[in-house]
Amino acid sequence: MNVNVDPEAHLKESRTRFDDLHKKIHKSVSEGHIVHVEDGEADDLWHDLLEIQQGLTPQLVLLSGGYYKLRAKCANDMWDYFARKFGIEKPKLATVYANTGDALQNFDHVEGTGLLSPQEIETLKEESSSLSNVEYRHAVEEAQHSLQKILEENDFTTIAVKTTPAEILDLLEAYKHKVAIIWTGPVDKMPNSDDWATKFNFVKAPKAGDRLLEIGVPIVAVSPSFGNARMHSIVDQKFMQQMVKYKREDKAFLPTDDSFPGFKNLASIAPDTQAKFSNYIISLADSLTKRMIADAAKKEAALNEKERALNQMKEKALINGKPDLVLQYEEEIKQIGYQRVLALALPNRWSKLARDNTDERKFREFCPVDQTLQLVTDPEMKESLKEVIEVEMKRPDTTDGSKRTIGVKPKPNSNIFLVTQVDTGRLEDKIQSIIDWMAQGEKPNPRLHTVKSEESVSHYNQDHSK
C-alpha cells in the first residue's frame, strides 16, 4: 500500500468516484452507446453472446490485431450468424489495427480453423501480409472516422477494450470527458510475489498500453484473477478437481474462495458445423491447445539458454566488481522468470489434463477474461463489484516492451479503477445458460435461457447454502 494513502479512506473515496462513473456507464449502455475493440478470440465471441443475451448489440466493433483480412472475414461470418440466429441488427465492423511477422500471436496463426476452409485461411493470410498498402490504411482511417462520429454524437460512450487500444488513442484523448474504457486483463499479480506484470492485452502493443494509462481517460480494469473471482476458469466439472491441483503446482492464480465446481455439459459438446458458435470456439480451443503445447518445449529451451547466459555474465560482473551490471542482469533474470510463468504454465497444464480425454469427454479450457466485462456493464450485476481501488499503473521501463514489470499502487484521482473483488455468481449462471444452449445444438434462442434476478437464485448462492 502507498504509505501516503490511508487505506480505509482511499477505499471509500475510490468507491464513491467509481460509482459516479458506473452510473454513466450503465446509462450509456442502456442507450446502446457501447463500442467494442476486439481480437476475435473465443472469449470475445462469448462476451458478444452475453451481451446479446442481455438484449444489447454494440454500435461499432473495431477489429484489432492478427491477419486483418482473415480477422474481418471471421468476425463478419460470426456476426452474420448471430444476426440470423437471434434476429438482431448486425453492428458495423471495421479494421483498426493489425499485425504481421513476429508481432503475430499464437491465436493469430489458428484463427479461422473450423469456420473457414484451410485454403481460404491461407489466401486471406497472404492478402494481409502487407500493412503499408493503401487498402489497409484506408480501412484504419475509415474505422477511426466511424469511431469519431460516434464519440461526437453520443453524450457518453462506453468502450469495451478486449485487446490493445492501438490506433484509437488520439480519439480517446480528444473525447476523454465523454468516454469510459473497460479494459480486460491488462495486468496481473505474479504468483507468490508483490510484483505485477503486464498481461496479454497490454503485451500486444506495450506503447499503446502505456499511453492509454497516461492520457487521463477513465479506465475500469477487470479480470477474474486480480478480481479474486470464484469462477477462475471455464472448464467442465469433470476436469476441475485436476485443474485446481495443477494450478496449485504451477503457483497459478486461484481465488480465496475455491468452491467453484466448474460447468456442466462443456466436455461432451461435439463439433457440429450447423452449430457455428460452438463448432468454431471448440475448433479454436483444440488448435490453440495443440499449437501452444508444441511451442512450449521450444520456448522453455530458449528461456533456459538465455537465463544460463545471463547468470554467467552476472558472475563475471561480480568478479570484476561491477555492481550496476550485477543489478541489471538480476533484473533481466527476473524478467525471464516472469516469462516462464506466463508462457509455460498454461500449455504444461493443458498437456497433463489432455491425458484424461476419452471419446465421450474432452478437456478444453476457455478463457474467462472478456466475459467479466458484463460485471461492469450489465445493471443486473451491479452488486457483483465488491471492491474497487483507484490506482496508478506505470511500467518503470517504457523503452522496452519485452519487460513485463509494471507498478500498480493506490493513487487518488487517477481515473484508473482496478476491480479487486468480484462475485461471479450471476455471471456463472449466464455462462452456463450459453453452454446449455451450445449442448442443445444452438437451436433455442439463448435469450430464453437468461437467468433473471427476480426469478432465480444463482448456483453460487445455492452452493453456499448447503
115-130 residue pLDDT tens: 999 999 999 999 999 9
Whether the CA torsion 388, 52, 368, 143 is positive or negative: it is: negative
How many domains, the chain? 2
Q: What is the mean pLDDT of residues 279-299?
A: 93
| Same structural domain, 318 and 334 | yes
Q: Which of 199, 158, 139, 135 is nearest to 59 (CA)?
A: 158
Assigned domain for 449 exists: no
| Same structural domain, 125 and 254 | no
Please say if the pLDDT value at position 237 is more than 90. yes
More confident residue, 401 or 186: 186
The DSSP bridge partners found for residue 35 are 60, 159
Q: Calculate the CA 349 to chain-centre distance.
A: 19
| Same structural domain, 97 and 219 | yes
Count the residues in the chain.
Answer: 466
Q: What percent of the chain has pLDDT over 70?
A: 94
Question: Which domain CATH number covers 12?
Answer: 3.90.245.10
| Same structural domain, 349 and 393 | no
Residue 424 grid coordinates: 461471479
Assigned domain for 458 exists: no
| Same structural domain, 108 and 207 | yes
Torsion of CA 147, 150, 152, 154, to 10 degrees: -140
DSSP H or E segment with residue 393: strand 385-394
Pick from 341, 366, 391: which residue ends a domain? 366
| Same structural domain, 362 and 372 | no
Residue 3's pLDDT is what?
Answer: 55
Assigned domain for 448 exists: no
The answer to whether the beta carbons of residues 406 and 194 sit under 8 Å apart is no
The answer to whether the beta carbons of residues 240 and 261 sit under 8 Å apart is yes
Please say if the pLDDT value at position 48 is more than 50. yes
Listed range (17-21, 27-31, 330-334, 387-391) with the worst mean pLDDT: 330-334
Assigned domain for 461 exists: no
The CA radius of gyration of the chain, in Å to the nearest whole number, is: 22
| Same structural domain, 56 and 129 | yes
Is the pTM for the entire model greater than 0.85? yes
| Same structural domain, 201 and 286 | no
**pLDDT tier for residue 446 given thresholds of 50, 70 and 90:** low
Assigned domain for 382 exists: yes
pLDDT tens digits, one per residue of 379-394: 999 999 999 999 999 9
What residue numbers bound the domain in which 246 lies?
A: 235-262+272-366
pLDDT tens digits, one per residue of 210-227: 999 999 999 999 999 999
| Same structural domain, 94 and 226 | yes
Residue 458's pLDDT is what?
Answer: 41
More confident residue, 340 or 460: 340
Buried b (16+ CB within 10 A) or exposed e, 223-257: bbbbbbbbbbbbbbebbbebbbebbeebebbbbee
| Same structural domain, 342 and 399 | no
The answer to whether the beta carbons of residues 52 and 82 sit under 8 Å apart is yes
d(CA 45, CA 75): 9
Please say if the pLDDT value at position 462 is more than 50. no
| Same structural domain, 355 and 379 | no
Q: Calculate the CA 112 to chain-centre distance.
A: 19
Count the neighbouring beta carbons within 10 Å of the beta carbon of residue 258.
Answer: 11
Q: Can you tell me whether residue 258 is helix, strand or coil?
A: coil
Please say if the pLDDT value at position 455 is more than 90. no
| Same structural domain, 307 and 187 | no
Pick from 366, 392, 421: which residue ends a domain? 366
Pick from 366, 395, 416: which residue ends a domain? 366
